[in-house]
A and B are shown apart, each in its own frame.
Chain A
Protein backbone atom coordinates (compact mmCIF):
# COMPACT_ATOMS: atom_id res chain seq x y z
CA UNK A 1 0.00 0.00 0.00
CA UNK A 2 2.82 2.34 0.97
CA UNK A 3 4.71 1.47 -2.22
CA UNK A 4 1.62 2.06 -4.30
CA UNK A 5 1.19 5.50 -2.75
CA UNK A 6 4.86 6.27 -3.39
CA UNK A 7 4.57 5.17 -7.00
CA UNK A 8 1.48 7.32 -7.53
CA UNK A 9 3.27 10.28 -6.03
CA UNK A 10 6.28 9.70 -8.27
CA UNK A 11 4.07 9.63 -11.34
CA UNK A 12 2.38 12.83 -10.25
CA UNK A 13 5.81 14.47 -9.93
CA UNK A 14 6.82 13.13 -13.34
CA UNK A 15 3.67 14.50 -14.91
CA UNK A 16 4.23 17.84 -13.19
CA UNK A 17 7.76 17.98 -14.60
CA UNK A 18 6.54 17.01 -18.05
CA UNK A 19 3.82 19.66 -18.10
CA UNK A 20 6.11 22.31 -16.64
CA UNK A 21 8.63 21.56 -19.38
CA UNK A 22 6.14 21.72 -22.20
CA UNK A 23 3.68 24.42 -21.12
CA UNK A 24 5.41 27.52 -22.50
CA UNK A 25 6.07 26.00 -25.90
CA UNK A 26 2.52 24.66 -25.97
CA UNK A 27 1.21 28.10 -25.10
CA UNK A 28 3.23 29.76 -27.86
CA UNK A 29 2.09 27.13 -30.37
CA UNK A 30 -1.55 27.72 -29.44
CA UNK A 31 -0.94 31.45 -29.64
CA UNK A 32 0.55 31.13 -33.14
CA UNK A 33 -2.48 29.08 -34.17
CA UNK A 34 -5.16 31.30 -32.65
CA UNK A 35 -3.55 34.72 -32.47
CA UNK A 36 -5.23 35.15 -29.11
CA UNK A 37 -3.55 34.88 -25.71
CA UNK A 38 -6.61 33.97 -23.66
CA UNK A 39 -7.85 31.38 -26.12
CA UNK A 40 -4.34 29.90 -26.24
CA UNK A 41 -4.27 29.65 -22.44
CA UNK A 42 -7.67 27.97 -22.37
CA UNK A 43 -6.62 25.43 -24.99
CA UNK A 44 -3.42 24.55 -23.13
CA UNK A 45 -5.36 24.24 -19.88
CA UNK A 46 -7.88 21.87 -21.49
CA UNK A 47 -5.08 19.77 -22.96
CA UNK A 48 -3.34 19.52 -19.58
CA UNK A 49 -6.56 18.50 -17.88
CA UNK A 50 -7.36 15.86 -20.47
CA UNK A 51 -3.85 14.42 -20.43
CA UNK A 52 -3.78 14.23 -16.64
CA UNK A 53 -7.21 12.68 -16.22
CA UNK A 54 -7.31 10.33 -19.21
CA UNK A 55 -3.71 9.50 -20.07
CA UNK A 56 -1.75 10.13 -16.88
CA UNK A 57 -1.43 6.39 -16.38
CA UNK A 58 0.25 5.89 -19.78
CA UNK A 59 4.02 5.62 -20.14
CA UNK A 60 5.99 8.86 -19.99
CA UNK A 61 7.26 8.41 -23.56
CA UNK A 62 3.68 8.61 -24.79
CA UNK A 63 2.83 11.84 -23.01
CA UNK A 64 4.35 14.25 -25.54
CA UNK A 65 2.55 12.93 -28.65
CA UNK A 66 -0.66 12.43 -26.65
CA UNK A 67 -0.52 15.93 -25.21
CA UNK A 68 -0.01 17.43 -28.65
CA UNK A 69 -2.71 15.22 -30.10
CA UNK A 70 -5.14 16.68 -27.57
CA UNK A 71 -3.88 20.25 -27.95
CA UNK A 72 -3.91 20.26 -31.75
CA UNK A 73 -7.28 18.60 -31.85
CA UNK A 74 -8.57 21.41 -29.63
CA UNK A 75 -6.87 23.96 -31.90
CA UNK A 76 -8.58 22.42 -34.93
CA UNK A 77 -11.92 22.63 -33.11
CA UNK A 78 -11.18 26.25 -32.26
CA UNK A 79 -10.58 27.01 -35.95
CA UNK A 80 -13.79 25.26 -36.96
CA UNK A 81 -15.75 27.24 -34.41
CA UNK A 82 -14.20 30.54 -35.45
CA UNK A 83 -14.87 29.75 -39.13
CA UNK A 84 -18.55 29.30 -38.33
CA UNK A 85 -18.54 32.42 -36.15
CA UNK A 86 -16.84 34.46 -38.87
CA UNK A 87 -19.30 33.25 -41.51
CA UNK A 88 -22.15 34.21 -39.24
CA UNK A 89 -20.62 37.64 -38.72
CA UNK A 90 -20.09 37.98 -42.46
CA UNK A 91 -23.78 37.23 -43.04
CA UNK A 92 -24.65 39.90 -40.57
CA UNK A 93 -22.39 42.28 -42.47
CA UNK A 94 -19.84 42.82 -39.76
CA UNK A 95 -17.24 40.20 -40.70
CA UNK A 96 -13.80 41.40 -41.52
CA UNK A 97 -11.84 38.18 -41.03
CA UNK A 98 -13.82 35.42 -42.64
CA UNK A 99 -10.94 33.21 -43.78
CA UNK A 100 -9.19 30.51 -41.83
CA UNK A 101 -5.93 31.54 -40.24
CA UNK A 102 -6.67 35.20 -40.69
CA UNK A 103 -7.59 35.87 -37.10
CA UNK A 104 -6.52 39.37 -36.19
CA UNK A 105 -3.12 39.65 -34.61
CA UNK A 106 -2.94 42.00 -31.69
CA UNK A 107 -0.36 44.57 -32.81
CA UNK A 108 0.52 45.25 -29.18
CA UNK A 109 1.66 41.65 -28.81
CA UNK A 110 3.87 41.64 -31.85
CA UNK A 111 5.17 45.17 -31.84
CA UNK A 112 8.75 45.77 -30.89
CA UNK A 113 9.09 48.08 -27.92
CA UNK A 114 11.72 50.52 -29.08
CA UNK A 115 11.65 52.64 -25.97
CA UNK A 116 13.73 50.15 -24.02
CA UNK A 117 17.41 51.00 -24.01
CA UNK A 118 18.27 47.63 -25.58
CA UNK A 119 21.29 46.91 -27.62
CA UNK A 120 21.08 46.73 -31.40
CA UNK A 121 21.38 42.98 -31.14
CA UNK A 122 18.28 42.71 -28.97
CA UNK A 123 16.32 44.92 -31.32
CA UNK A 124 17.40 42.78 -34.24
CA UNK A 125 16.25 39.70 -32.38
CA UNK A 126 12.88 41.27 -31.64
CA UNK A 127 12.53 42.20 -35.31
CA UNK A 128 13.51 38.68 -36.31
CA UNK A 129 10.86 37.26 -33.99
CA UNK A 130 8.22 39.63 -35.34
CA UNK A 131 9.04 38.51 -38.88
CA UNK A 132 9.05 34.86 -37.85
CA UNK A 133 5.77 35.30 -35.98
CA UNK A 134 4.14 36.78 -39.06
CA UNK A 135 5.62 34.01 -41.22
CA UNK A 136 4.33 31.25 -38.97
CA UNK A 137 0.92 32.87 -38.69
CA UNK A 138 0.68 33.04 -42.47
CA UNK A 139 1.21 29.28 -42.86
CA UNK A 140 -1.83 27.06 -43.34
CA UNK A 141 -2.70 25.48 -39.99
CA UNK A 142 -1.56 21.95 -40.86
CA UNK A 143 1.79 23.19 -42.17
CA UNK A 144 2.25 25.30 -39.07
CA UNK A 145 1.49 22.33 -36.81
CA UNK A 146 3.79 19.95 -38.69
CA UNK A 147 6.62 22.48 -38.67
CA UNK A 148 6.36 23.37 -34.98
CA UNK A 149 5.96 19.80 -33.80
CA UNK A 150 8.87 18.53 -35.87
CA UNK A 151 11.33 21.39 -35.59
CA UNK A 152 10.55 22.87 -32.18
CA UNK A 153 8.97 20.11 -30.16
CA UNK A 154 11.37 17.61 -31.68
CA UNK A 155 8.78 14.92 -32.35
CA UNK A 156 9.71 12.37 -34.99
CA UNK A 157 7.55 11.81 -38.05
CA UNK A 158 5.55 8.96 -36.45
CA UNK A 159 4.77 10.90 -33.26
CA UNK A 160 3.93 14.02 -35.27
CA UNK A 161 1.52 11.95 -37.35
CA UNK A 162 -0.04 10.67 -34.13
CA UNK A 163 -0.29 14.18 -32.73
CA UNK A 164 -1.82 15.56 -35.91
CA UNK A 165 -4.06 12.57 -36.55
CA UNK A 166 -2.81 12.05 -40.09
CA UNK A 167 -0.44 9.79 -42.05
CA UNK A 168 3.34 10.06 -41.90
CA UNK A 169 3.36 10.95 -45.60
CA UNK A 170 1.11 13.93 -44.90
CA UNK A 171 3.42 15.08 -42.12
CA UNK A 172 6.40 15.01 -44.49
CA UNK A 173 4.50 16.94 -47.13
CA UNK A 174 3.22 19.58 -44.69
CA UNK A 175 6.66 19.97 -43.12
CA UNK A 176 8.49 20.29 -46.42
CA UNK A 177 6.03 22.88 -47.72
CA UNK A 178 6.26 24.81 -44.46
CA UNK A 179 10.06 25.00 -44.63
CA UNK A 180 9.99 26.20 -48.23
CA UNK A 181 7.28 28.73 -47.52
CA UNK A 182 9.16 30.09 -44.51
CA UNK A 183 12.34 30.32 -46.57
CA UNK A 184 10.50 32.36 -49.15
CA UNK A 185 8.90 34.57 -46.51
CA UNK A 186 11.89 35.13 -44.26
CA UNK A 187 14.54 35.30 -46.95
CA UNK A 188 18.06 33.98 -47.13
CA UNK A 189 19.54 36.43 -44.66
CA UNK A 190 17.06 36.00 -41.84
CA UNK A 191 17.45 36.71 -38.96
Chain B
Protein backbone atom coordinates (compact mmCIF):
# COMPACT_ATOMS: atom_id res chain seq x y z
CA UNK B 1 0.00 0.00 0.00
CA UNK B 2 1.62 3.26 -1.09
CA UNK B 3 1.92 6.24 1.20
CA UNK B 4 -0.06 8.40 -1.22
CA UNK B 5 -2.94 5.93 -1.26
CA UNK B 6 -2.94 5.91 2.53
CA UNK B 7 -2.89 9.71 2.62
CA UNK B 8 -5.86 9.93 0.25
CA UNK B 9 -7.74 7.34 2.29
CA UNK B 10 -7.06 9.15 5.57
CA UNK B 11 -8.02 12.47 4.00
CA UNK B 12 -11.38 11.03 2.92
CA UNK B 13 -11.99 9.87 6.48
CA UNK B 14 -11.01 13.27 7.83
CA UNK B 15 -13.51 15.01 5.55
CA UNK B 16 -16.21 12.58 6.58
CA UNK B 17 -15.46 13.20 10.25
CA UNK B 18 -15.55 16.97 9.74
CA UNK B 19 -19.02 16.65 8.23
CA UNK B 20 -20.03 14.43 11.12
CA UNK B 21 -18.83 17.02 13.67
CA UNK B 22 -20.93 19.61 11.87
CA UNK B 23 -24.08 17.60 12.45
CA UNK B 24 -24.03 17.79 16.25
CA UNK B 25 -27.62 18.51 17.30
CA UNK B 26 -28.72 21.77 18.89
CA UNK B 27 -29.21 20.36 22.38
CA UNK B 28 -25.70 18.95 22.44
CA UNK B 29 -24.26 22.17 21.01
CA UNK B 30 -26.00 24.13 23.77
CA UNK B 31 -24.62 21.80 26.45
CA UNK B 32 -21.12 22.09 25.03
CA UNK B 33 -21.39 25.88 25.01
CA UNK B 34 -22.64 25.85 28.61
CA UNK B 35 -19.74 23.60 29.63
CA UNK B 36 -17.29 26.00 27.96
CA UNK B 37 -18.79 29.03 29.70
CA UNK B 38 -18.70 27.18 33.01
CA UNK B 39 -15.04 26.32 32.56
CA UNK B 40 -14.17 29.92 31.69
CA UNK B 41 -16.15 31.23 34.65
CA UNK B 42 -14.30 28.85 36.96
CA UNK B 43 -10.99 30.03 35.55
CA UNK B 44 -11.94 33.67 36.07
CA UNK B 45 -12.72 33.07 39.74
CA UNK B 46 -9.87 34.30 41.95
CA UNK B 47 -7.68 31.51 43.21
CA UNK B 48 -8.26 30.64 46.82
CA UNK B 49 -4.71 30.24 48.00
CA UNK B 50 -5.82 30.30 51.62
CA UNK B 51 -7.82 27.09 51.26
CA UNK B 52 -4.87 24.68 51.37
CA UNK B 53 -3.36 26.63 54.27
CA UNK B 54 -6.60 26.44 56.21
CA UNK B 55 -6.82 22.72 55.58
CA UNK B 56 -3.24 22.25 56.71
CA UNK B 57 -3.86 24.24 59.89
CA UNK B 58 -6.98 22.22 60.68
CA UNK B 59 -5.11 18.94 60.13
CA UNK B 60 -2.28 20.13 62.40
CA UNK B 61 -4.78 21.11 65.12
CA UNK B 62 -6.44 17.69 64.96
CA UNK B 63 -3.06 15.95 65.12
CA UNK B 64 -2.04 18.05 68.12
CA UNK B 65 -5.30 17.27 69.89
CA UNK B 66 -4.85 13.54 69.30
CA UNK B 67 -1.28 13.65 70.61
CA UNK B 68 -2.32 15.57 73.70
CA UNK B 69 -5.13 13.15 74.47
CA UNK B 70 -2.79 10.17 74.17
CA UNK B 71 -0.10 11.79 76.31
CA UNK B 72 -2.46 12.71 79.14
CA UNK B 73 -1.58 10.59 82.23
CA UNK B 74 -4.12 8.08 83.44
CA UNK B 75 -6.61 9.55 85.87
CA UNK B 76 -5.32 9.81 89.41
CA UNK B 77 -6.71 7.07 91.63
CA UNK B 78 -6.69 9.42 94.58
CA UNK B 79 -10.42 9.97 94.55
CA UNK B 80 -11.01 6.76 96.49
CA UNK B 81 -7.64 5.51 97.67
CA UNK B 82 -8.88 2.62 99.80
CA UNK B 83 -11.06 1.07 97.14
CA UNK B 84 -8.42 1.61 94.49
CA UNK B 85 -5.71 0.04 96.64
CA UNK B 86 -7.94 -2.99 97.31
CA UNK B 87 -8.44 -3.48 93.57
CA UNK B 88 -4.73 -3.34 92.90
CA UNK B 89 -3.98 -5.80 95.69
CA UNK B 90 -6.57 -8.18 94.30
CA UNK B 91 -5.07 -8.04 90.83
CA UNK B 92 -1.49 -8.42 92.05
CA UNK B 93 -2.33 -11.45 94.18
CA UNK B 94 -4.81 -13.05 91.87
CA UNK B 95 -2.77 -16.30 91.79
CA UNK B 96 -2.87 -16.48 95.56
CA UNK B 97 -6.66 -16.09 95.66
CA UNK B 98 -7.08 -18.73 92.95
CA UNK B 99 -4.91 -21.13 94.93
CA UNK B 100 -6.85 -20.32 98.11
CA UNK B 101 -10.16 -21.04 96.47
CA UNK B 102 -8.87 -24.32 95.01
CA UNK B 103 -7.52 -25.41 98.39
CA UNK B 104 -10.76 -24.60 100.18
CA UNK B 105 -12.91 -26.41 97.68
CA UNK B 106 -10.67 -29.53 97.91
CA UNK B 107 -10.89 -29.56 101.69
Size of chain B's interface in residues, with CB distance under 8 A?
A: 28
- Residues in A whose Cβ lies below 8 Å from that of B43: 12, 15, 52-53, 56
Which label, helix, strand, loop or mixed, suits the secondary structure of the A interface? helix
**Among listed A40-48, A155-163, A166-174, interface-contacting one:** A40-48
A contact residues around B36 at 8 Å (CB): 16, 19-20, 23, 48
Contact indicator per residue, chain A 21-47, by CB within 8 Å of chain B (1) or not (0): 001110110000000010001001100
Contact A24 B21 (CB under 8 A): yes
- Do most interface residues of chain B lie in helix, strand or loop, or is the interface mixed? helix
Contacts of A111 in B (CB 8 A): none
CA distance A19 to B33 in the complex (A): 9
Tell me whether B22 and A24 are in contact (CB under 8 A): yes
Q: Note all chain A residues with C-beta closer than 8 A to B105.
A: none
CA distance A22 to B38 in the complex (A): 16
Task: Name the distance in Å between A19's Cβ and chain B's nearest Cβ.
Answer: 5
Nearest chain B CB to A21 CB, angstrom units: 10
Chain B CB within 8 A of A84 CB: no
Near B by CB (< 8 A), chain A positions 105-128 give 125, 128
List which B33-64 residues lie within 8 A (CB) of chain A: 33, 35-36, 38-40, 42-44
**B83 interface hit (Cβ, 8 Å):** no
B residues in contact (CB < 8 Å) with A:
1, 6, 9-10, 12-14, 16-22, 24, 28-29, 31-33, 35-36, 38-40, 42-44
Chain A positions near chain B (C-beta within 8 angstroms)? 12, 15-16, 19-20, 23-25, 27-28, 37, 41, 44-45, 48-49, 51-53, 56, 125, 128-129, 132-133, 148, 151-152, 179-180, 182-183, 190-191
A–B Cβ pairs within 8 angstroms, 5 of them: A28-B17, A37-B28, A48-B36, A51-B39, A132-B20
